[in-house]
Amino acid sequence: MLVDSHAHLEMPQFADDLEQVIQRAKAAGLSHIINIGTDEESSVKSVELATQYGLIYAVVGIHPHEARLVSAATYDCLRKLAAHPKVVALGEMGLDYHYMHSSAVIQQEVFKQQLRLADELELPVVIHQREAEADALNILKEHPPAYGGVMHCFSGDEAMLNECLNMGLYISVAGPVSFKKAHCLRQLIAQVPADMLLLETDAPYLAPVPYRGKRNEPAYVKHTAQVVAELKGLSLDDIGRITSLNVRNLFGIPAGEEQSRVVYPIRRSLYVNLTNRCSNDCSFCARNKSYYVKGHNLSLEHEPTTDEVLEAITNQSGDYEEIVFCGFGEPLLRLDTIIEVAKQLKFQGLKIRINTNGQGNIIHKHNILP
């Protein structure tokens, strides 16, 4: 599953074959496309696309290039558009000092106004920043987006990256991460926690290798995903699942059926989730924030029996190097189940591992290791 979190399908480059572009996106495994407005007209068209196609959601706003054209009526227009149920954010807004199509002063004012409007409308923001790091950060610190946001097509340095992450902003990665000379960008993206990453095409621009220089389209997001997966030491499935969940969390897009997982794959390992109980109560426990791990829902409705665990392992397709008892809790609380399940798996020649908080002997009041 993949999501293109930033595309411009309303642009004339897609006028002749939009239907085929959408079909190719579906065939490539995309569940959603977030279509981004850059001015009033494209924002209206984004909402029309979202109305027409189930997988498209819309973002409405004014790109810094167009800031000089903004009037009070523009904000009224954005307010009206934002009332549509498939408008999930405001943007793309921000600063672009590369071409200076609008003066820096006007860009800054329009950026601030849109940040205020997003708070008023209780929406997250999509931020464009090019060659304006210091001013963009200053404005974001003065007006931190109350409902979160994403730095689209991140292009800053390490200091900028850390500031954005400290503000809780997601980092979106586009095609340039695949370019031959983008060593610095790849190093930076490798540092971003997977649960703060989004993937995008910025279609029709910035096509990733092997399409560099051609028209970009949402289906190509999988090439960017492959590069990011390698940088994070994850599989393509892992990075697709994690970044799709990140998009849903940021933009409040409802999920399909997300059943809790008894077994869940990460890389070449199959993990077994036996319990949500733990003998510890760590203040930093990730369960205090969310029961999702690498995009999997680990909130158990009930603790699975031995038969249910074995059935879940049997039903999970894939070629795994190991089975790991490691849920969102302390697996050794269910020592008897571990022994029964592991015994049967070892007969099948499978490698077994247990991730534990080290309190097995305390829990069971004897040495359990033998």
Compare residues 137 and 354 and give the one whose CB is closer to ligand SF4: 354
Compare residues 284 and 347 and give the one whose CB is closer to ligand SF4: 284
For residues 150 and 192, give the distance between their C-alpha atoms in angstroms, rounded to a whole number. Answer: 13
Residue 282 makes contact with ligand SF4 by CB under 6 A: yes
Least gap, CB of 76 to ligand SF4 (angstroms):
49
Q: 108 and 135 in contact (C-beta within 8 Å)? A: yes
Peptide bond into 120 cis (omega under 30): no
Return the DSSP state at 208. Answer: P
Return the DSSP state at 333. Answer: G
Residue type, 337: T
SS3 per residue for 110-128 = HHHHHHHHHHHHCCCEEEE
Compare residues 13 and 260 and give the one whose CB is closer to ligand SF4: 260
Compare residues 226 and 299 and give the one whose CB is closer to ligand SF4: 299
Residue 84 makes contact with ligand SF4 by CB under 6 A: no
Compare residues 255 and 285 and give the one whose CB is closer to ligand SF4: 285
> Phi and psi of 128, rounded to 5°?
-105, 130
Can you read off the two tokens belonging to residue 299? 């909130």
Compare residues 265 and 329 and give the one whose CB is closer to ligand SF4: 329
Residue 329 makes contact with ligand SF4 by CB under 6 A: yes
Residue 303 makes contact with ligand SF4 by CB under 6 A: no
Helices (H), 145-235: 158-166, 183-191, 221-232
Residue 327 makes contact with ligand SF4 by CB under 6 A: no
Residue 354 makes contact with ligand SF4 by CB under 6 A: no
Residue 37 makes contact with ligand SF4 by CB under 6 A: no
Compare residues 58 and 326 and give the one whose CB is closer to ligand SF4: 326
Least gap, CB of 289 to ligand SF4 (angstroms):
11
Residue 287 makes contact with ligand SF4 by CB under 6 A: yes
Distances from the Cα of 343 to the Cαs of 305, 306, 347, in angstroms? 15, 11, 6
Rg (CA), the chain: 23
Of 20, 51, 103, 280, the residue at the interface with ligand SF4 (CB under 6 A) is: 280
Peptide bond into 144 cis (omega under 30): no
Number of amino acids touching ligand SF4 (CB under 6 A) = 9
Least gap, CB of 355 to ligand SF4 (angstroms):
9
Torsion angle in degrees (nearest 10) through CA of 128, 131, 135, 139? 10
Give the residues lining the site for ligand SF4 (CB under 6 A).
Answer: 278, 280-282, 285, 287, 329-330, 357
